[in-house]
């Protein structure tokens, strides 16, 4: 080692001065780092002093011999001589591909891979799996024939690849082996260094668990390949067992030719945490193939000892066994490097007593080094807590049958939110105003500015003028006078009607022709406010029924109708003493349902009106015996103040095939809208208002309330007509005067 | 003092208090209004309980009528309308009421009013409902009714044609009929208003007569 060489602070190996990264572990090298004993400062000095390899000698004295094995020095010397012969200049430094014959093997391999020979056909998953690709490079799978030309092509391709990766100069076959291994690993990881980091680790772990005997050991495999290639040109093909032992001296060739021991981080962690030797690892060491007989005794001793992290090459020598593996920030993804303090804490949390350090026979053991593939996967186990992978549940094993994840297994089921998801309402952040609205706003603003608000408020708060109050009193007094005067004086201007309305005459005729043995259904529906009018109007009709001794059945389609009507019947019965209300009148009460209730009368009369107002069975009454349907009544007389009730009765009952005649006793306000049903013959007659009632009384020749109050009625209507006429005229004059003032003002 | 006299006196006082509205809104009138609303509500409740619930729901159930369970369930669902959370359950009852009511009303309107009025309008030009032959007066009356009906329908026709100048105007015949229809509609509404006014005057006369008769009976 020269003074310009740089010792890797991680693996403690010697690198050339031009190297940026360590050829062995890919750690970043410090250029001005002192060599030899100068480098033994701080943590690394302690590590080296505590290491098993350098424990016999002081770290300050271990400069050259302990770092470079003998076999490696010999190989480097051979390589150096060859390079001096061929070029004399380091091709890696100049960026040129070396024309070494030994490097042509890679090109040959690539050519064969591209030609998709039988060898390639045996490994269909080579491109997708790095494990399979590496397995295809073993000496057992290499083709038997290889020419010098192919070797040169392989060497060129390898050199170009190394140059692209910027690995640096390879001075020996061992370095070349490591560089190629690193280059392959770096090439595979170059595209997905960060994203596939965890995936690679997981992949390696799964492979170890599934195929414990088929481990991916790039270092050993490539060393076998290179050895095989280097011998192919000189000697006939040999068995792989012979090729493993041919190239190097016994002791130093051991870590290269032998498969690397299988390191399971999980088992190591468990080993550390349990602080007891793992039998599994012992057995793994026992099962290792032994290629070198000289190291067999040491191997036996080692196999019985517990492999530590240092002896396994996972951590640099000299570090504590319980200490987590440290990482270079450049090797970590950005996100992982940021999380390093947290992970370090977690690692400390998991830290327990260190595994007992077994003292091996250091004189016979070559210091282990961290393989590149192991280096590539090392960080995650150290910085992240070991959490067992969640076992797939049945739910996770389900395959998505729809959506963008259709066909993918293990898709987590999400809640079905399709029914709950609604399009959110869109609220405008601003107010959209069109031109018309702007004009209205401007007009309103102008009105507010021009108007005197106090004046407006004063107008609204003003009490009505006395003139309006006086006017109201005058109108009231006039009406009261028109009502009251006829009561106290028989005014001669009362004109009784001579011509009777046809509907009144028809009503009288219908009632007059009713059979006396059939009851009449009196259906009431009027409000309490018009009960007085209805009482006067209906008095003549009811008395007519009483004089004919016709039984009556009372019901109503509103709550108060039947009560008012029954009271009136009892009042009239005081006049018509021959009529017994208790025997001839049955009150069926309130029929609910409105239109449906009226329709139910035509469907099932007994079901529609089952009880009387006294909660007695209705159809057991003497009056209603033999009445099973609506047509069994002599007539249906509707007492109402609403024309729609008449219309409903006509529509629901009048359309039936067998229906009794429908008559109506109406308030004056219902007469106009009922007239068409009489003209069309759908009702047989009706008596409406004071006019109709007075006519009916005249026909019966029994003056009752309508006749006695008819003078008041006529005078009131006359006064009302005069008031309307005068009011209209005054309003017309005032409006025309205001219009003339406006015209004069303009 | 008999009960009739007491109720007559109460009626007299209440009538006078209602007439006090001629002097403007006052507490006496408000008292009478509140009394009327309260009495009406209580009366309606009693009527509903005795005439509807007991007579048409409880009594059939006690007699073993299982079909009465349907209105019981629908009534229970309708009561859930009082709860904002469960009000949707009452939609079933509302749907039954509205749907059945609308169907019954529509059928009755078509068969009872539309067809009935068409038949009545045609009868002016043919034999009368009682079988007597038509007269000239009835034919003229029928023509008058027909014109009035068509004119009223034309008034409510708002369709128009777009002319070349972009102006939208109804045809001349439709405009004429619409103008005539406006007169018929005005007469009809005037008649309705007259009927309402007449009913009000009748109520006034009836109450005035009650007051006079009560006073005269007291004086005598």
pLDDT band at A418 (very low <50, low <70, confident <90, very high): low
CA nearest to A357, candidates A319, A324, A301: A319
Count up the domains in chain B and report the number: 2
Give the span between the Cα atoms of B127 and B104, in whole angstroms: 32
Say if residues B89 and B77 touch (Cβ distance below 8 Å).
Answer: yes
Say if residues A53 and A363 touch (Cβ distance below 8 Å).
Answer: no
Relative orientation angle of helices A148-165 and A104-114, to the nearest 10 degrees? 100
How many beta-carbon pairs below 8 A join chains A and B? Answer: 150
pLDDT at A53 (0 to 100): 43
| Chain B environment of A641 (Cβ under 8 Å) | 199
Residue B109 domain-assigned (yes or no): no
DSSP secondary structure code for residue A63 in this structure: S
Say if residues A318 and A50 touch (Cβ distance below 8 Å).
Answer: yes
pLDDT band at A577 (very low <50, low <70, confident <90, very high): confident
pLDDT at B125 over 60: yes
Tell which phi-psi region holds residue B116, choosing left (phi > 0), alpha (psi between -120 and 50) or beta.
alpha
Name, in order, each residue with C-beta under 8 angstroms of A24's C-beta and a sequence gap of 6 or more: A8, A11, A13, A178, A369, A370, A372
Give the span between the Cα atoms of B47 and B45, in whole angstroms: 5
- The mean per-residue pLDDT over the stretch A406-419 comes to 70
Residue A35 domain-assigned (yes or no): no
Last residue of a domain, one of B38, B64, B90: B64
pLDDT at B158 (0 to 100): 86
- A190 versus A455: the higher-pLDDT residue is A455
CA nearest to A248, candidates A75, A101, A14, A13: A75
Give the span between the Cα atoms of A590 and A737, in whole angstroms: 57
Residue A152 domain-assigned (yes or no): yes
Residue A294, both tokens: 């000289």
pLDDT band at B189 (very low <50, low <70, confident <90, very high): very high
Last residue of a domain, one of A359, A383, A407: A383
pLDDT at A43 (0 to 100): 46
- A448 versus A490: the higher-pLDDT residue is A448
- A417 versus A430: the higher-pLDDT residue is A430
Name, in order, each residue with C-beta under 8 angstroms of A692's C-beta and a sequence gap of 6 or more: A501, A503, A504, A537, A666, A671, A686
Residue B213, both tokens: 């008769």
Residue B176 to chain A, least CA–CA distance (Å): 25
pLDDT band at A496 (very low <50, low <70, confident <90, very high): confident
pLDDT at B170 (0 to 100): 82
Name, in order, each residue with C-beta under 8 angstroms of A137's C-beta and a sequence gap of 6 or more: A109, A221, A222, A225
Nearest chain A residue (CA) to B210: A532
| Chain A environment of B134 (Cβ under 8 Å) | none
Give ipTM to 2 decimals.
0.89
B186 touches chain A (CB under 8 A): no
- The mean per-residue pLDDT over the stretch A579-605 comes to 91
Residue B91 domain-assigned (yes or no): no
| Chain B environment of A689 (Cβ under 8 Å) | 195, 198-199, 202
Count up the domains in chain A and report the number: 2
- The mean per-residue pLDDT over the stretch B1-27 comes to 87
The DSSP code sequence of A458-498 is HHHHSPPPHHHHHHHHHHHHHHHHHHHHHHHS--TT----S
Residue B51 domain-assigned (yes or no): yes
pLDDT at A281 (0 to 100): 45
Residue A191, both tokens: 């595209």
CA nearest to A220, candidates A331, A368, A325: A368
| Chain A environment of B144 (Cβ under 8 Å) | none
| Chain B interface mutation, best of A668, A673, A687, highest count of B Cβ atoms under 10 Å | A668
Of B55, B111, B203, the CB nearest to A615: B55
pLDDT at A272 over 90: no
pLDDT at B48 over 50: yes
pLDDT at A286 (0 to 100): 43
pLDDT band at A512 (very low <50, low <70, confident <90, very high): very high
Residue B150 to chain A, least CA–CA distance (Å): 16
pLDDT band at A163 (very low <50, low <70, confident <90, very high): low
pLDDT at A289 over 50: no
pLDDT at B17 over 80: yes
Residue A633 to chain B, least CA–CA distance (Å): 21
pLDDT at A245 (0 to 100): 41
B98 touches chain A (CB under 8 A): no
Domain that holds residue A696: 502-708
| Chain B environment of A487 (Cβ under 8 Å) | 208-209, 212
Cβ–Cβ below 8 Å for A667 and B199 = yes
Question: A506 and A360: one domain?
Answer: no
pLDDT band at A701 (very low <50, low <70, confident <90, very high): confident
pLDDT tens by residue, A108-128: 555 555 554 444 444 444 444
Residue A523 domain-assigned (yes or no): yes
Cβ–Cβ below 8 Å for B47 and A559 = yes
| Chain B environment of A599 (Cβ under 8 Å) | 104, 108
Residue A734 domain-assigned (yes or no): no
pLDDT band at A81 (very low <50, low <70, confident <90, very high): confident
Q: In percent, how much of chain A has pLDDT > 70?
A: 49
Residue A676 to chain B, least CA–CA distance (Å): 7
Residue A468 domain-assigned (yes or no): no
B208 touches chain A (CB under 8 A): yes
Residue B106 domain-assigned (yes or no): no
> Out of A54-58, A476-480, A578-582, which region has the weakest mean confidence (pLDDT)?
A54-58
pLDDT at A249 (0 to 100): 41
Nearest chain B residue (CA) to A473: B22
| Chain B interface mutation, best of A486, A679, A723, highest count of B Cβ atoms under 10 Å | A679
Say if residues A690 and A713 touch (Cβ distance below 8 Å).
Answer: yes
Of B104, B111, B208, the CB nearest to A484: B208
Say if residues A150 and A104 touch (Cβ distance below 8 Å).
Answer: yes
- The mean per-residue pLDDT over the stretch A65-76 comes to 74
- The mean per-residue pLDDT over the stretch A196-220 comes to 45
- A276 versus A464: the higher-pLDDT residue is A464
Q: Which helix (H) or strand (E) holds A523?
A: strand A520-525
Residue B162 domain-assigned (yes or no): yes
pLDDT at A336 (0 to 100): 56
Task: Enumerate the β-bridge partners of residue A664.
Answer: A638, A686
pLDDT at A188 over 60: no
Say if residues A657 and A602 touch (Cβ distance below 8 Å).
Answer: no
CA nearest to A646, candidates A693, A595, A603, A607: A595
Cβ–Cβ below 8 Å for A533 and B206 = yes
pLDDT at A373 (0 to 100): 79
Residue A745 to chain B, least CA–CA distance (Å): 35
Say if residues A318 and A48 touch (Cβ distance below 8 Å).
Answer: yes
Q: In percent, how much of chain A has pLDDT > 90?
A: 19
Diameter over CA atoms, chain A: 158
pLDDT at B212 over 70: yes
**Which three-class secondary structure state does DSSP give residue A411?**
coil
- The mean per-residue pLDDT over the stretch B193-220 comes to 89
- The mean per-residue pLDDT over the stretch A230-257 comes to 44
Name, in order, each residue with C-beta under 8 angstroms of A601's C-beta and a sequence gap of 6 or more: A591, A608, A609, A630, A652, A653
- A397 CB-contact burial (10 Å; exposed 0-12 / middle 13-18 / buried 19+): exposed
pLDDT at A243 over 50: no
Average pLDDT, chain A: 68
Residue A412 domain-assigned (yes or no): no
Cβ–Cβ below 8 Å for A679 and B120 = yes
pLDDT at B28 over 80: yes
The DSSP code sequence of A556-621 is ESSTTHHHHHHHHHHHHHTTSTT--HHHHEEEEEE--STHHHHHHHHH-HHHHS-B-TTS-BGGGS
Nearest chain A residue (CA) to B54: A615
Give the span between the Cα atoms of A406 and B129, in whole angstroms: 78
B44 touches chain A (CB under 8 A): yes
> Phi, psi (5° rounding) for residue A23?
-70, -20
pLDDT at B130 (0 to 100): 67
pLDDT at A112 (0 to 100): 56
pLDDT band at A547 (very low <50, low <70, confident <90, very high): very high
pLDDT at A649 over 60: yes
CATH number at residue A608: 3.40.50.10160
Residue B12 domain-assigned (yes or no): yes
Give the span between the Cα atoms of A151 and A104, in whole angstroms: 3
pLDDT at A533 over 80: yes
Residue B38 domain-assigned (yes or no): yes
pLDDT at A648 (0 to 100): 93
Question: In terms of C-beta distances under 8 Å and separation of at least 24 residues, what long-range contacts does A603-610 make, across chains too?
Answer: A605/A629, A605/A630, A609/A555, A610/B55, A610/B56, A610/B59
pLDDT at A360 over 60: no
CA nearest to A612, candidates A603, A621, A600, A604: A621
Task: Enumerate the β-bridge partners of residue A154.
Answer: A104
CA atoms in the 13 A half-sphere facing the CB of A699: 24
> Out of A55-69, A566-580, A593-607, which region has the weakest mean confidence (pLDDT)?
A55-69
Count CB atoms within 10 A of the CB of residue A228.
Answer: 22
- The mean per-residue pLDDT over the stretch A333-351 comes to 51
Residue A588 to chain B, least CA–CA distance (Å): 9
Give the span between the Cα atoms of A473 and A482, in whole angstroms: 14
pLDDT at A514 (0 to 100): 92
- A467 CB-contact burial (10 Å; exposed 0-12 / middle 13-18 / buried 19+): exposed
Q: Which helix (H) or strand (E) holds A688?
A: strand A685-688
Residue A192, both tokens: 């997905």
Give the span between the Cα atoms of A538 and A443, in whole angstroms: 59
Total length of chain B:
220
Cβ–Cβ below 8 Å for A487 and B212 = yes
pLDDT band at A490 (very low <50, low <70, confident <90, very high): low
Domain that holds residue B47: 1-64
B22 touches chain A (CB under 8 A): yes
Give the span between the Cα atoms of B184 and B157, in whole angstroms: 15
- The mean per-residue pLDDT over the stretch B178-198 comes to 93
Relative to beta strand A520-525, strand A14-15 is: unpaired
Q: How far apart are the first and last CA of chain A?
A: 119
Give the span between the Cα atoms of A475 and B204, in whole angstroms: 14
Residue A432 domain-assigned (yes or no): no
Query: % helix / strand / coil in chain B, to the nearest 5?
Result: 80, 0, 15
- The mean per-residue pLDDT over the stretch A560-581 comes to 88
Cβ–Cβ below 8 Å for B199 and A641 = yes
Name, in order, each residue with C-beta under 8 angstroms of A12's C-beta and a sequence gap of 6 or more: A44, A48, A67, A316, A317
Last residue of a domain, one of B42, B64, B86: B64
Residue B40 domain-assigned (yes or no): yes
Residue whose pair of structure tokens reads 């017994």 in the numeric block: A580
Relative orientation angle of helices A671-679 and A502-512, to the nearest 10 degrees? 70
- Interior/surface letters A248-259, b for 16+ CB within 10 angstroms, e for the rest: beebbbbbbbbe
B197 touches chain A (CB under 8 A): yes
pLDDT band at A450 (very low <50, low <70, confident <90, very high): confident
pLDDT band at B192 (very low <50, low <70, confident <90, very high): very high
Cβ–Cβ below 8 Å for B203 and A530 = yes
C-alpha distances in angstroms, A72 versus A253, A536, B112?
9, 135, 118
Cβ–Cβ below 8 Å for B202 and A536 = yes
Count CB atoms within 10 A of the CB of residue A665.
Answer: 30
Nearest chain B residue (CA) to A555: B51
Residue A662 domain-assigned (yes or no): yes
């Amino acid at each position: 080692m020269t003074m310009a060489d740089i010792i890797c602070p991680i693996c403690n190996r010697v690198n050339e001065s031009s190297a940026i990264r360590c050829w062995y572990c890919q750690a970043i090298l410090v250029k001005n780092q002192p060599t030899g004993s100068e480098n033994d400062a701080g943590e690394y000095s302690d590590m080296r002093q505590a290491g098993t390899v350098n424990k016999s000698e002081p770290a300050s004295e271990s400069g050259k011999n302990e770092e470079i094995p003998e076999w490696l020095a010999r190989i480097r010397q051979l390589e150096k001589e060859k390079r001096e012969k061929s070029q004399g200049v380091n091709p890696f430094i100049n960026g040129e591909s070396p024309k070494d014959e030994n490097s042509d093997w890679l090109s040959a391999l690539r050519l064969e891979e591209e030609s998709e020979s039988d060898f390639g056909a045996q490994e269909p998953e080579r491109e997708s799996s790095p494990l399979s690709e590496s397995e295809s490079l073993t000496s057992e799978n290499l083709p038997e024939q290889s020419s010098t030309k192919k070797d040169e092509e392989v060497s060129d391709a390898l050199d170009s690849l190394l140059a692209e990766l910027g690995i640096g100069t390879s001075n020996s076959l061992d370095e070349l082996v490591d560089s190629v291994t690193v280059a392959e690993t770096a090439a595979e990881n170059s595209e997905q260094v960060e994203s596939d980091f965890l995936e690679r680790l997981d992949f390696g772990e799964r492979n170890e668990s599934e195929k414990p005997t088929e481990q991916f050991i790039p270092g050993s495999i490539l060393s076998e390949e290179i050895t095989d290639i280097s011998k192919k040109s000189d000697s006939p093909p040999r068995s792989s067992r012979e090729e493993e032992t041919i190239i190097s001296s016994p002791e130093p060739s051991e870590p290269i030719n032998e498969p690397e021991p299988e390191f399971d981080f999980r088992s190591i962690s468990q080993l550390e945490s349990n602080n007891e030797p793992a039998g599994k690892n012992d057995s793994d060491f026992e099962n290792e193939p032994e290629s070198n007989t000289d190291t067999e005794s040491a191997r036996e001793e080692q196999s019985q000892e517990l492999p530590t992290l240092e002896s396994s090459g996972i951590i640099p020598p000299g570090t504590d066994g319980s200490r987590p593996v440290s990482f270079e920030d450049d090797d970590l993804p950005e996100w992982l490097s940021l999380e390093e303090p947290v992970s370090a804490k977690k690692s400390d949390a998991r830290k327990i007593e260190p595994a007992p350090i077994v003292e091996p026979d250091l004189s016979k053991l070559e210091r282990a080094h961290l393989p590149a593939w192991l280096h590539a996967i090392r960080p995650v186990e150290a910085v992240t807590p070991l959490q067992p992978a969640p076992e797939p549940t049945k739910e996770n094993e389900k395959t998505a049958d729809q959506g963008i994840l259709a066909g993918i297994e293990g898709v987590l089921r999400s809640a079905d939110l399709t029914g709950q998801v609604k399009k959110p309402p869109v609220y405008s952040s601003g107010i959209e105003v069109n031109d018309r609205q702007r004009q209205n706003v401007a007009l309103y603003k102008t009105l507010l500015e021009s108007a005197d608000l106090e004046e407006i408020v004063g107008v609204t708060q003003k009490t009505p003028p006395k003139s309006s109050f006086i006017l109201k009193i005058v109108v009231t007094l006039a009406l009261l006078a028109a009502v009251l005067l006829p009561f106290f004086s028989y005014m001669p201007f009362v004109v009784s009607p001579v011509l009777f309305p046809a509907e009144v005459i028809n009503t009288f005729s219908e009632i007059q022709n009713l059979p006396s043995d059939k009851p009449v259904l009196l259906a009431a529906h009027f409000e309490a406010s018009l009960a007085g009018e209805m009482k006067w109007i209906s008095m003549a009709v009811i008395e007519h029924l009483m004089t004919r001794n016709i039984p009556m059945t009372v019901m109503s389609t509103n709550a108060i109708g039947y009560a008012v009507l029954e009271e009136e019947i009892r009042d009239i019965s005081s006049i018509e003493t021959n009529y017994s209300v208790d025997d001839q009148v049955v009150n069926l009460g309130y029929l609910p349902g409105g239109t449906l209730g009226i329709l139910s009368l035509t469907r099932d009369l007994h079901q529609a009106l089952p009880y009387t107002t006294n909660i007695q069975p209705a159809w057991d009454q003497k009056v209603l015996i033999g009445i099973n349907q609506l047509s069994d009544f002599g007539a249906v007389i509707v007492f109402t103040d609403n024309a729609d009730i008449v219309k409903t009765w006509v529509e629901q009952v009048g359309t039936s095939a067998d229906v009794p005649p429908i008559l109506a006793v109406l308030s004056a306000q219902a007469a106009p809208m009922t007239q068409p049903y009489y003209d069309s013959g759908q009702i047989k007659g009706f008596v409406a208002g004071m006019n109709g009632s007075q006519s009916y009384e005249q026909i019966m020749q029994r003056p009752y309330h309508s006749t006695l109050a008819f003078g008041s009625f006529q005078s009131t209507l006359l006064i009302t007509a005069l008031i309307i006429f005068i009011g209209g005229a005054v309003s017309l004059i005032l409006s025309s005067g205001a219009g003339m003032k406006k015209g004069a003002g303009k | 003092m008999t009960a009739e006299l007491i109720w007559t006196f109460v009626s007299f006082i209440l009538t006078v208090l209602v007439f006090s509205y001629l002097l403007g809104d006052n507490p006496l009138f408000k008292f009478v209004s509140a009394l009327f609303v309260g009495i009406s509500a209580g009366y309606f409740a009693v009527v509903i309980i005795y005439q509807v619930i007991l007579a048409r729901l409880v009594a059939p159930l006690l007699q073993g009528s299982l079909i009465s369970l349907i209105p019981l369930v629908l009534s229970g669902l309708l009561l859930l309308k009082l709860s904002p959370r469960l009000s949707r359950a009452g939609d079933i009852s509302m749907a039954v009421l509205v749907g059945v009511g609308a169907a019954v009303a529509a059928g009755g309107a078509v068969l009872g009013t539309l067809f009935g009025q068409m038949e009545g309008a045609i009868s002016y030009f043919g034999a009368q409902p009682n079988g007597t032959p038509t007269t000239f007066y009835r034919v003229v009356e029928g023509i008058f009714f027909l014109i009035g009906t068509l004119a009223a329908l034309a008034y409510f026709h708002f369709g128009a044609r777009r002319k070349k100048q972009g102006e939208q105007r109804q045809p001349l015949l439709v405009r004429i009929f619409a103008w005539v229809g406006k007169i018929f509609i005005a007469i009809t509404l005037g008649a309705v208003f007259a009927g309402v006014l007449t009913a009000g005057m009748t109520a006034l006369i009836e109450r005035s007569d009650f007051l006079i008769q009560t006073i005269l009976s007291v004086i005598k």
